Structure 1
């Protein structure tokens, strides 16, 4: 039994004006692909001959250029053309938007089907924040979404979809999933796995997977910051055999009813306050660290990372003996200027993209405190994706990066040359805290800042959403 494996992963924020290019992806090919996928061990346990496809993962950002999409797609298709396989296993996101094409996942799978035919089993691991086109269900056999927010179960999900694929190959049956698109768009910061109603929804998914005839059950929250006809929540249920199709359809409707009955329970898990009030809240807490999420410029949801709203507010404040850091501000030019200096040099640099009212330039004057590496996140959190320089201005440190990114772990601070324990208040370019920081946080607050990932999604200028979709 031969199975091709690969990853082509990107979450697209269409409100981010900076398009995504080939150079913005972490890309490996050949046998190095096998070292990055948890599915490989599960397949090898089943005596499968694993064929490496590609591994291309991009940090959340703007629309993917057509040439970038075609580059990675052609790489994968060329491997398929040269190798006979019994099945295909892929780790995708579900919310890739491509210039002039639309859903990248749908376009990719349709091209694969055109090459391998309709009978070859295809298994997908997808992010729970995927905006899934209904048409995709016609071209794939196995699907399962992550079942944690923040995401910590990618390894388990890859293993489950890999084992399900080998089962289908052995059965020699072409199973088809049940799928329903839900008429709701849910703000991501209102849906955390340890809070209701998502906690109960995850429990219901587990209960459905215990039913006879059900292989996998998935709920997709969707990615709210994508102006697409496919944006929104959905449900996928995969039957075990062809004879279980009706059971899958009934289970799918059970999940739809369960979720829709709870749709108005989604709400912020953390304090969500206007920018100035968010800083007030953080600074009045005695213990540390307190994390402030610059939620409107959340790079983990694809925002650019260049907004200076919270930076300006912090510079205008008396921090009352506390130490704060902004990690980080994306500005290639400012980084390049700072990087010419040595640590310890006095520096002065204008920072801010200047692309809109929220990224107004700010003059920073201080000392170059540190230089370091910028790590990625999710599928790239151990990869160096850029560099940073940190300016110290008395009680306020500002990290300047040469790409949009967010510090999601303690290691991100270490690789930047910083110690997170030095700070009372830490401003991050993200929404909800990632798991590693939740474990060390004394407090957290969502600053309702403006930008490409603005949390009040009902106020966003959607143009492509169907009129009947409800914004939550």
Structure 2
């Protein structure tokens, strides 16, 4: 029977984020599954909407599970984390002596030594298993992929939705494409786009990304996929890329060229939909609620610190009568609330842990709820996933209707449970503020169609003209 080794190593690296991503963050990632080894992968990922889960369900061959690890997006991955996890994956695959390999990767990992980290993972694997063994890879829609990566992978599939509701589906497509590649030769084609788009403009809920992804696979190809790229990464291969596979090289090239032309034609249509924070709050207060305000520039799912106070200050300045915000990363505030107890009225400094983006908000708050931070996600992206974010507190600014959920682990709010863990039902409030860029839409659009993308300083600039790039390829334009 055919034996396929399976492994995963995911990270989306924001090279402008202030804090490095350490090995401990992969071991205990909070809302994501913890680092998992061997046969435990079958148990941990059973039923989850994760690419490796979809691959496991769809694959008809004997599977040899090696290791899976993921950390919340952040700054450069440390050498210790990269070398340790990659080394374990390479050794596990070599010991398995498989007939093929499947990798659940992201596509936007960066270390100080390797700006093209996924290609380096494949180089190290190829050095042990040889150049010809089939290697299938599933990737995030925000991957920054290189020509070298394309040459090292046998076949590639990429998420086609943003919010990424098709994690498992993409893994299943990788299983089917690998099966096809093992049965008969496939020819591949790769193209790079020459412009960057802000992540808030990339959502497939809106044009033009909706129409671009609806056009896949197109032509006479067996498979066509496109990564939009992850803009806050100062590397040469930052930006969109296209992967096409077909029975002939002519068909693969034709499909890739067609998709590249569609992407180029869509360039002027991408809209980041950004509004200054104070304006967003005033707009929301004038609208029929609930209205959702996203804080994309402090999105921890893109490397944001999740502790900036720009949106909170805008709510306070406008006198918002009914607003909730989750989740502000502030372990000290959460600890102080737990020490004081429910019902306590305490003076506290909220957020502002990274002064280059914001200052703390000094306020008197009422402790309305406390939690150990353990909950089960229920939304379309991560339904069934077990979160463990450490001590959490629900705080109300005294004398106001503004409530803030403070937590001990930096994590993107992409599920309504990030409020419910603090006893807050988001749909019951006029203004809902989330530390997220787009992923929140998968769950929160079920309670409101009204969404504003507010700008306040943070580590994930969505106005790409403000990013001090030094390593982009010549000719790459910023959307």
**Shorter-chain TM-score above 0.5:** yes
Q: How many Å separate the matches in 2 of 1:326 and 1:287?
A: 15
1:280 aligned onto 2:288: no
1:29 aligned onto 2:45: no
1:361 aligned onto 2:377: no
Q: Which moved more, 1:11-20 or 1:191-200?
A: 191-200
Q: How many Å separate the matches in 2 of 1:325 and 1:170?
A: 54
- The answer to whether the 8 Å contact 1:237/1:248 transfers is yes
Cα shift at 1:360: 0.5
- The answer to whether the 8 Å contact 1:15/1:303 transfers is no
- The answer to whether the 8 Å contact 1:141/1:238 transfers is no
User: Which residue number in structure 2 is paired with residue 386 of structure 1?
Assistant: 389
User: Which residue number in structure 2 is paired with residue 247 of structure 1?
Assistant: 251
Q: How many Å separate the matches in 2 of 1:312 and 1:201?
A: 38
1:414 aligned onto 2:427: no
Question: Residues 73-152 of structure 1 correspond to what in structure 2 (within 5 A)?
Answer: 73-152=86-165
1:256 aligned onto 2:257: no
The alignment's TM-score, normalised by the length of structure 1, stands at 0.92
Question: Residues 271-350 of structure 1 correspond to what in structure 2 (within 5 A)?
Answer: 272-288=274-290, 290-319=291-320, 322-350=321-349
Q: How many Å separate the matches in 1 of 2:178 and 2:204?
A: 27
Cα shift at 1:415: 2.6
User: Which residue number in structure 2 is paired with residue 160 of structure 1?
Assistant: 173
Instruction: Summarize deviations over 1:260-284 as a string: whole Å, max 9, x none.
Output: 122111113xx53111100001111
Q: How many Å separate the matches in 1 of 2:340 and 2:118?
A: 43
1:238 aligned onto 2:245: yes
Q: Which moved more, 1:380-389 or 1:426-435?
A: 380-389
1:41 aligned onto 2:61: no
Q: Which moved more, 1:152-161 or 1:334-343?
A: 334-343
Instruction: Summarize deviations over 1:17-67 as a string: whole Å, max 9, x none.
Output: 011112212211121212421211111xx2x11110211111221111110
Cα shift at 1:381: 7.4
User: Which residue number in structure 2 is paired with residue 265 of structure 1?
Assistant: 269
- The answer to whether the 8 Å contact 2:193/2:263 transfers is no
Aligned length: 455
Q: Secondary structure at the match of 1:336?
A: helix
User: Which residue number in structure 2 is paired with residue 66 of structure 1?
Assistant: 79
- The answer to whether the 8 Å contact 2:217/2:225 transfers is no
User: Which residue number in structure 1 is paired with residue 213 of structure 2?
Assistant: 202
- The answer to whether the 8 Å contact 2:189/2:256 transfers is yes
Structure 2 segments unaligned to the other structure (5+ residues): 27-33, 46-52
Q: How many Å separate the matches in 1 of 2:9 and 2:193?
A: 25
Q: Which runs of 4+ in 1 moved over 6 A?
A: 374-377
- The answer to whether the 8 Å contact 1:275/1:447 transfers is yes
The alignment's TM-score, normalised by the length of structure 2, stands at 0.90
- Choose which of 187, 203, 207 in structure 2 pairs with 1:192: 203
Distance 1:21 1:381, change over 3 A: farther
Structure 1 segments unaligned to the other structure (5+ residues): none
Q: Secondary structure at the match of 2:389?
A: strand
User: Which residue number in structure 1 is paired with residue 469 of structure 2?
Assistant: 462
Cα shift at 1:79: 1.0
- Choose which of 428, 435, 451 in structure 2 pairs with 1:429: 435
Q: How many Å separate the matches in 2 of 1:459 and 1:121?
A: 42
Q: Secondary structure at the match of 1:161?
A: helix
Cα shift at 1:437: 0.7
Instruction: Summarize deviations over 1:180-208 as a string: whole Å, max 9, x none.
Output: 11111111111221322212211322323
Q: Which moved more, 1:370-379 or 1:405-414?
A: 370-379
